[in-house]
Structure 1
Amino acid sequence: MTENPNKLHDKVAKRAEDVAMTVGLVSAAAGVGASLAAPTGLTALGVALGITSTPLIVTAAPIIALAATVTGAVSGGAYFYAKWKNRH
């Protein structure tokens, strides 16, 4: 590595922040899509009875939200690690 190893943690923290923000935006879009596509009325009754299937976005939204939560936690950890490392 030709870069200063002391600044590597700053780059990692910045990259983790970028990824977390991107996944957060995707999660927000998936949440809006899921709320619009969620079955209501007789369609919801059909889903409850197993006659029709749930839209994919409604099924995927919690998984995408979990990914946003995990990447946010990793980003936060990387941020505070970089901040700690810069002080020492």
Structure 2
Amino acid sequence: MEKELLNLGFGSTVVAQRVVTILAPNSSPMKRLKDEAREERRLIDATHGRKTRAMVVTDSNHVILSAIQAETLSQRFLLVGKDPKEKE
């Protein structure tokens, strides 16, 4: 069984099958989610010092921060496992 990886940008990846949701970090509930994950040591910062533009929640309840737009990550997620030459 081969694992497909979702590129979070700047050399960071996550196993696509573990992704539960991809969120925009703008709202107060998302900020609370990030703060709670930090307090519980479930936060992974993959922004490399850049502005957080997306949050990825995994099935293990970890929250991963990315500097790539949530819409872009969602499109990448949809393409995981597809042939790059294949048209939608």
TM-score bucket (shorter structure):
under 0.3
Between Structure 1 and Structure 2, the one with more helix by share is 1
Q: TM-score of the superposition, structure 1-length normalised? A: 0.24
Higher RCO (C-alpha 8 Å, min separation 6): 1
Whose Rg is larger?
Answer: 1
Q: TM-score of the superposition, structure 2-length normalised? A: 0.24
